[in-house]
Amino acid sequence: MTSYRTPLSRARGLGAAKHGVGHWIAERVSAVALVPLVLWAVFAVLRLAATDYDGAVIWLSNPLNAVLLTLLVAVSYLHMHGGMQVVIEDYIEKPLSRAMVLLLNVFVCALGGALAVFSILKVALGGA
Amino acid sequence: MTDASRTPRERPLSPHMSVWRWHLTMATSIMHRMSGCALYGTALIVTAWALSLAAGPEAYGTFKAVLGSFPGKVVLFLISLAVFYHLAKGVQHLVWDAGHGFELKSANAGAVASIAFAIAATLAVWVIAAMTGAL
């Protein structure tokens, strides 16, 4: 059957979504930010593991610790959302399942990040 | 107009796993993705830590008891390995993104260095943890 569609019409919608560059850059920028943050977090975990509840609250009352931990959580969830998105897009082919899992990824990251940040601020700002 | 040509054409797929011979850079690249997925779970544990701290001493005690148990420590050990590996391999990926280190020799060296750093840093952290009473 002869097709009356133009080559342009056939090509449309099959190319790049033009969102790739922003995603690529966000993943690299967050990666660079996470290098010092994660190294700091290793020392923070060693410190926190050696102390109890009161020690942890005092540690988190320090503005520097509270801010760095908030940044670590926010940038980590951003970075892992982008990373998991690529993994999902690579392995899940069915459009509906893919959309559902991509949505789940967004929700899990948003909820996990928001819960962590709010909890950190609650302890840091006010005598838990 | 509905016409058969409107159904999506076969799109190119990547990577073609079956045409590659196993080698170090391939294995470490796969391990980078696996460790990244493991760190997804780790972030959720960090959220659980923050929630338990905000909930009070009792919840925090329970959280520490779970992570301090033997299975908890095994999980923490694997997490530390994943953190250091993903960190080191991630730095190699950033170097690659900057356009350097693509020669076979330096690519392999980076892969070996990532594994070596992960093991050395993990052991160092657990020795420090044992010495500072964090265990």
Could B60 and A38 be called an inter-chain contact, meaning their C-beta atoms sit closer than 8 Å?
A: no
pLDDT at residue B8, rounded to an integer = 65
**Is B120 inside any structural domain?**
yes
- Model confidence at A11, in pLDDT bands (50, 70, 90)? confident
**Is A9 inside any structural domain?**
no
- SS in 3 state form for B37-55? HHHHHHHHHHHHHHHHHHH
Using an 8 Å CB-CB cutoff, list chain B residues near A122: 54
**Is B16 inside any structural domain?**
no
Could A112 and B60 be called an inter-chain contact, meaning their C-beta atoms sit closer than 8 Å?
A: no
pLDDT at residue A21, rounded to an integer = 87
Provide the residue-wise pLDDT of chain B in tens; the chain has 135 residues: 455 556 666 766 666 667 778 889 999 999 999 999 999 999 999 999 999 999 999 999 999 999 999 999 999 999 999 999 999 999 999 999 999 999 999 999 999 999 999 999 999 999 999 999 887
**Is B5 inside any structural domain?**
no
A23-31 mean pLDDT: 95
CATH number of the domain to which B45 belongs: 1.20.1300.10
Could B37 and A87 be called an inter-chain contact, meaning their C-beta atoms sit closer than 8 Å?
A: yes
pLDDT more than 90, % of chain A: 78
**CA gap B54, B121 in Å, rounded:** 31
DSSP, collapsed to helix, strand or coil, labels residue B98 as coil
Could B54 and A119 be called an inter-chain contact, meaning their C-beta atoms sit closer than 8 Å?
A: yes
Burial B6-37 (b: 16+ CB within 10 A, else e): eeeeeeeeeeeeeeeeeeeeeebeebbeebbe
**Is B14 inside any structural domain?**
no
Count how many domains chain B has. 1
Count how many domains chain A has. 1
pLDDT at residue B22, rounded to an integer = 85
Could A28 and B46 be called an inter-chain contact, meaning their C-beta atoms sit closer than 8 Å?
A: no
DSSP, collapsed to helix, strand or coil, labels residue A128 as coil
**Is B126 inside any structural domain?**
yes
Question: Cβ of A1 under 8 Å from any chain B Cβ?
Answer: yes
pLDDT at residue A127, rounded to an integer = 57
Using an 8 Å CB-CB cutoff, list chain A residues near B36: 80, 83-84, 87
Structure tokens at B21: 């011979």
CATH number of the domain to which A33 belongs: 1.20.1300.10
pLDDT at residue B85, rounded to an integer = 98
CA A3 from centre of chain: 45
**Is A8 inside any structural domain?**
no
ipTM for this model: 0.86
User: The whole model's pTM is what?
Assistant: 0.87
Using an 8 Å CB-CB cutoff, list chain B residues near A119: 47, 50-51, 53-54
Could A84 and B37 be called an inter-chain contact, meaning their C-beta atoms sit closer than 8 Å?
A: yes
**Is A29 inside any structural domain?**
yes
Looking at chain A, list the stretches that DSSP marks H as alpha helix, in order from N- to C-terminal side. Answer: 7-11, 20-49, 53-61, 63-91, 95-125
**CA gap B57, A127 in Å, rounded:** 12
**Is A90 inside any structural domain?**
yes
**Is A1 inside any structural domain?**
no
Domain range enclosing A42:
18-125
Using an 8 Å CB-CB cutoff, list chain A residues near B15: none
- Model confidence at A128, in pLDDT bands (50, 70, 90)? very low
Q: What is the mean pLDDT of chain A?
A: 92
Cβ neighbour number for residue A127 with a 10 Å cutoff: 8
